[in-house]
Structure 1
């Protein structure tokens, strides 16, 4: 599992950084993202554009007022 805290990444760089990390995963692995808001736009972006994203396995949990942990699984081949 790869964990990426993007809270300190400038907003304009967050999605490219996340896509880069996700692309580096092996099939069946999961990218766990820590963010300051629920990453719904990112979920929809992945669902529409990333064929290897397993949308059914996506999970998000609010841990604190500005801490959301989202899991973006990569499909098995």
Structure 2
């Protein structure tokens, strides 16, 4: 039995996926920025206090932007709203 979301492919823009909090959707000053902050692997959102692993946070935001069923509604900041 195949899951319906495995059959689809959607290209999404990954810009800012590491900088936007996957919990509250904010792009706080506390998030790592660009190439200069590549060494920052963990950060805490200054807006909601959520603790993030940079890569896992980005993965959640990319899944949300692609409309993954476990992340219904997505992250508003990544959808341009």
TM-score, normalisation: structure 2: 0.26
Larger radius of gyration: 2
TM-score, normalisation: structure 1: 0.27
Does 1 or 2 have the higher relative contact order (CA < 8 Å, sep 6+)?
Answer: 1
Task: Kindly indicate which of the two structures has a greater share of residues assigned to strand.
Answer: 1
